[in-house]
Amino acid sequence: MALQEAGSVPAGPKDVGRPGPAEVAELLLVAVAVLQGLALALWLGAFPRSALELCGLASGATLFARWAGALHAALALAYVADFVGLRRIAILLATKGATALLLLLVWMAEGLPLVALAILALDAATALTGALLRAPAERSRRARTRLRLVSRVPVEAWSSGGR
């Protein structure tokens, strides 16, 4: 009888390449953040006046709205690059956390329209979820790496004979 962590399922060779639940949740979080960023970028770029009016700002500053849309698109691409290239969500956590903190400070000092409060709640929830998923996802990735290193390689993979 082998000892294992409470609540864990023993992994066999067939489970070595499959991501754990925390990794899948982290991937979904990045996908949602990217979709949100691209949708916001499209909306700000295509309809800057309506975006500004909805947030209670003067509708004359369309350049500002389009610039914000371009920045949202760039951040969405940075989320993808960070996750695909390095398997981390540091940029996502930093930007969502900083946005939520900034909106919270502005809300306390001056007040915000309802749209900005919704963005505050969404960004704070995204940052908190990402922070909570970060450690379990990293443990899952490391466990899969260890399993890959110790799992048996099928004979067909290492035989050099031409059968």
pLDDT in tens, 150-159: 666 565 555 5
Residue burial 79-91, b: 16+ Cβ < 10 Å; e: rest:
bbebbeeeebbeb
What are the angstrom distances between the C-alpha of 51 and each of 2, 40, 45, 99, 135?
A: 59, 9, 9, 18, 37
Q: How confident is the model at residue 55 (pLDDT cuts 50, 70, 90)?
A: confident
Q: Residue range 47-72: average pLDDT?
A: 87
pLDDT in tens, 120-142: 999 999 999 999 999 999 998 88
d(CA 136, CA 100) in angstroms, rounded, equals 24
Is pLDDT above 90 for 61? Answer: no
Q: What is the pLDDT of residue 160?
A: 61
Is pLDDT above 70 for 56? Answer: yes
d(CA 111, CA 113) in angstroms, rounded, equals 7
Q: What is the pLDDT of residue 115?
A: 87
Where does residue 110 rank: exposed (0-12), middle (13-18), buried (19+ CB within 10 A)?
A: exposed
163 contact partners, CB below 8 Å, separation of at least 6:
none
Is pLDDT above 90 for 24? Answer: yes
Which one is predicted more confidently, 144 or 153? Answer: 144
Which one is predicted more confidently, 11 or 89? Answer: 89
The pLDDT > 70 percentage for the chain reads 81
